[in-house]
């Protein structure tokens, strides 16, 4: 019996631990316009309070300074930093790279940098609006990549996303139309969607690069996040995820990844999987609005499928 116990202990010691799923939370488009439920300031206060309640030490807010239209908007961004979060560049005007020249695009990046760089909490990360890195135009793609590198800016890439911006817009549209919104169902859909999106991204990354990297989840500074971010964090942890800082996530070797694929638009997970030759779909199903929108109508608005 003693020998058996010693053998079991040896096997346990020799067995490598299962890799912990890790994910950082990031919010695009700050300061975002008014949503369905709160003023901009109310939304920011709730987000700060709920992130603290959920014990999220650091989230990253990717800022569009062109949307900071008043001193109150500037204070809103500063309050995220005072709460321990960090800020980074999401361009000044939130334009598509496919719709601008490389020179104009980089000038817009520079305009945002001038606003951001002197501020506390600044990080030298740039996230492409719409995750649009130039589409099929490889010359433009490479010109902007080189321009960002010359400015000392690292790609603020995304590995997991569930199109929360669309859930938010559907809620706004429903509120304007006077429809009854099942708030509990809205919470459940938001949380479920993003946990599934994280798990999908992790499974695809394991197939693509052979490991579970520190993930980066794309969220937006929305009213829905201000309602349910603590619920999402609780569900992620229950699903085995550790919430990490963006600083930790962006220290991974993935920060130098520059996938060469026919069209660069989407998460880094998608692009790396495509580069490796993994077949489509390389994106989480609910990022397809033909799937997401009927699901919202059925579950949140209790509308019968047409």
Mean pLDDT (10-residue bins), the chain, 306 residues: 43 46 98 96 98 98 96 97 98 98 98 98 98 98 98 98 98 98 98 98 98 98 98 98 98 97 97 98 97 98 90
Tell me the per-residue pLDDT of 285-306, one tens digit each, with 9 for 90 and over. 999 999 999 999 999 999 998 7
What pLDDT was estimated at residue 1?
A: 47
pLDDT value, residue 305: 81
Instruction: Quote the percentage of the chain above a pLDDT of 70.
Output: 94
The predicted structure's pLDDT at residue 214 = 98
pLDDT given for residue 105 in this prediction = 98
Ordered by start, the domain boundaries in the chain are 24-299
Q: What is the pLDDT of residue 292?
A: 98
CA gap 182, 176 in Å, rounded: 15
- Which CATH code for domain 24-299? 3.20.20.370
Q: What is the pTM of this model?
A: 0.93
User: E-strand spans in 52-165?
Assistant: 60-63, 86-89, 122-126, 132-135, 154-155, 160-161
Tokens representing residue 196 in the block: 């599934």
* Rounded-to-integer distance, Cα 241 and Cα 246, Å: 15
d(CA 145, CA 246): 21
Pairing of strands 241-244, 160-161: unpaired
User: By C-alpha distance, which of 22, 4, 94, 38 is closest to 228?
Assistant: 38
């Amino acid at each position: 019996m003693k020998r058996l116990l010693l053998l079991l202990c040896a096997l346990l010691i020799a067995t490598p631990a299962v890799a912990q799923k890790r994910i950082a939370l990031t919010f695009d488009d700050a300061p975002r316009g008014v949503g369905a439920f709160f003023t901009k300031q109310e939304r920011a206060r709730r987000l700060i309070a709920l992130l603290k309640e959920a014990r999220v030490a650091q989230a990253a807010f990717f800022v569009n300074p062109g949307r900071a239209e008043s001193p109150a908007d500037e204070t809103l961004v500063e309050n995220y930093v005072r709460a321990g979060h960090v800020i980074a560049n999401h361009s000044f005007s939130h334009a598509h790279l496919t719709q601008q020249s490389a020179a104009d695009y980089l000038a817009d990046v520079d305009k945002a940098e001038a606003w951001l760089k002197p501020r506390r909490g600044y990080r030298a990360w740039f996230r492409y609006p719409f995750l649009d890195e130039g589409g099929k135009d490889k010359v433009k793609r490479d010109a902007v990549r080189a321009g960002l590198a010359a400015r000392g800016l690292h790609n603020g890439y995304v590995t997991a996303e569930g199109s929360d911006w669309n859930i938010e817009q559907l809620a706004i549209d429903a509120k304007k139309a006077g429809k009854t919104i099942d708030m509990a169902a809205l919470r459940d859909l938001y949380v479920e969607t993003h946990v599934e999106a994280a798990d999908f991204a992790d499974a695809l990354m394991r197939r693509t690069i052979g490991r579970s990297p520190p993930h980066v989840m794309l969220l937006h500074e929305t009213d829905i996040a201000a309602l349910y971010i603590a619920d999402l964090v609780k569900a992620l942890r229950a699903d085995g995820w550790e919430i990490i800082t963006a600083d930790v996530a962006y220290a991974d070797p993935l920060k130098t990844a520059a996938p060469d694929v026919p069209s660069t638009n989407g998460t880094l997970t998608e692009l790396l999987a495509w580069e490796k030759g993994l077949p489509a779909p390389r994106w989480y199903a609910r990022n397809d609005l033909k799937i997401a929108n009927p699901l919202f109508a059925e579950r949140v608005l209790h509308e019968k499928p047409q």
